[in-house]
């Protein structure tokens, strides 16, 4: 009779056996998986674990602060918070290809992470919140010959480069099970129930060039959308919901003058593991409320559209 409490105890024993008295470093992404992995490992080996949060400036509104306060405040887990927004945005200048964005962000993440790891004297193990679907999807997306749709893993290559072994206590779990484990470990519900967020962050939700200005516009629209979803009590019924800022300007009219601003697309899907997804069927009143608020409150957006594409043939993210 298999329960999460037993899984927790088993994993803690396994982590202790694997790590012994050596040191582990864990990169936090701000998401549920890496947070649950970190808290579990901390329970197993305490201060032999150091967490590094590389803040690339491509997070949603308020997200970086939540991660920092969860780790430093609630758990008292040592956390290095690296503020690297300028470095990332500078390197993204002129980059428009989705995989080029991922490559740059992944590589820069590794550089920053390595620097920080060196500063604290290195570690023997790297902890990652890899889940079972990550293992499958990186092997083969289609079930046929291995095809890379998107290169998801932004710390791939790091263990070899840093000569470290991996600690991946969540490798057998699906997302819903990670959430159960997170609750078992006492993580706050707002954190455990959080929608998945991709490593490259807002960079892949801004087709075309990513700038600080466009990140700020997107953060505002996205925050309004999510606030309305929470107010309507729909957050937990949705796998992922987010806004995308399109590199297209259209003409509109506001009061008595002409506008010429960006289009914002809203995405919301249901899914159990992210591998397939259906669109969330909001009612029309909800969507028009969100559209009106975004257009009225966010300077730079004058049109809002809803994405009706399931996965497949679409992917969840636009890039």
**Binding-site residue ranges:** 29-35
Contacting residue, 8, 72, 81, 152, with ligand XMP by CB under 6 A: 152
103 forms part of the interface with ligand XMP (CB under 6 A): no
Q: Scan residues 118-137 and list those touching ligand XMP (CB under 6 A).
A: none
* Cβ atoms of 185 and 146 closer than 8 Å: no
- How far, in Å, CA of 151 to CA of 204, rounded? 12
Q: Which residues are annotated as a binding site for ATP?
A: 29-35
Contacts of 112 (CB under 8 A, 6+ apart): 54, 82, 84, 87
Position among 11, 60, 150, 220 found at the interface with ligand XMP (CB under 6 A): 150
Locate 44 and state its tokens. 């197993």
Which of these segments, 166-174, 181-189, 300-308, 311-319, binds ligand XMP (CB under 6 A)? Answer: 311-319
Q: Does 315 bind ligand XMP (CB under 6 A)?
A: yes
The torsion region of residue 76 among left (phi > 0), alpha (psi -120 to 50) and beta comes to left
Rule CB under 6 A: say whether 169 interacts with ligand XMP.
no
- CB closer to ligand XMP, 19 vs 59: 59
88, 200, 229, 294: residue in contact with ligand XMP (rule CB under 6 A): 200
| Residue 311 binds to ligand XMP (criterion: CB under 6 A) | yes
Q: Does residue 199 touch ligand XMP according to CB under 6 A?
A: yes
Smallest separation, CB 236 to ligand XMP (Å): 16
Enumerate residues 218-277 that contact ligand XMP by CB under 6 A: 240, 274
Which range of residues in 50-58, 85-93, 148-156, 228-236 is near ligand XMP by CB under 6 A?
A: 148-156
Strands 125-127 and 240-254: unpaired
Instruction: Tally Cβ neighbours within 10 Å of residue 155.
Output: 18
* One of 91, 159, 196, 252 touching ligand XMP (CB under 6 A): 196
Q: Is 207 in the site for ligand XMP (CB under 6 A)?
A: no
Token readout for 249 is 């300007």
- Shortest distance in whole angstroms from residue 198 CB to ligand XMP: 3
For ligand XMP, the closer of residues 37 and 45 by Cβ is 37
Q: How far is the CB of 317 from ligand XMP (least distance, A)?
A: 3
Contact residues for ligand XMP (CB under 6 A)?
Answer: 102, 150, 152, 154, 196, 198-200, 240, 274, 311, 315-317
């Amino acid at each position: 009779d298999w329960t999460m409490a037993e899984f927790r105890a088993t994993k803690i024993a396994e982590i202790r056996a694997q790590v012994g008295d050596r040191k582990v470093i864990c990169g936090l992404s701000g998401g549920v998986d890496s947070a649950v992995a970190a808290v579990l490992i901390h329970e197993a080996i305490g201060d032999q674990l150091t967490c590094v949060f590389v803040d690339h400036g491509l997070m949603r509104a308020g997200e970086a602060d939540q991660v920092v306060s969860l780790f430093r405040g609630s758990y008292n887990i040592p956390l290095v918070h690296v503020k690297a927004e300028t470095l990332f945005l500078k390197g993204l200048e002129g980059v428009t290809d989705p995989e080029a964005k991922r490559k740059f962000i992944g590589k820069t993440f590794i550089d920053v992470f390595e620097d920080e790891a060196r500063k604290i004297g290195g570690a023997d193990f790297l902890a990652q919140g890899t889940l079972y679907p990550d293992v499958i999807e990186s092997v083969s997306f289609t079930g046929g010959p291995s095809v890379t749709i998107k290169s998801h893993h932004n710390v791939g290559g790091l263990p070899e480069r840093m000569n470290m072994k991996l600690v991946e206590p969540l490798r057998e779990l699906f997302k819903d099970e990670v959430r159960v484990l997170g609750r078992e470990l006492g993580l706050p519900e707002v954190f455990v129930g959080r929608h998945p967020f991709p490593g490259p962050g807002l960079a892949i939700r801004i087709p075309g060039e990513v700038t600080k200005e466009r990140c700020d516009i997107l953060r505002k629209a996205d925050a309004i959308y999510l606030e309305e979803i929470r107010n309507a009590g729909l957050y937990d019924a949705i796998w992922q919901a987010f806004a995308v800022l399109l590199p297209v300007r259209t003409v509109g009219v506001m009061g008595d003058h002409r506008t010429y601003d960006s289009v914002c697309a809203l995405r919301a899907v249901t899914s159990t593991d992210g591998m397939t997804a259906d669109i969330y069927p909001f009612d029309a009143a909800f969507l028009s409320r969100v559209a009106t608020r975004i257009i009225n409150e966010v300077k730079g957006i004058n049109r809002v559209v809803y994405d009706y594409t399931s996965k497949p043939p679409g992917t969840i993210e636009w890039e």
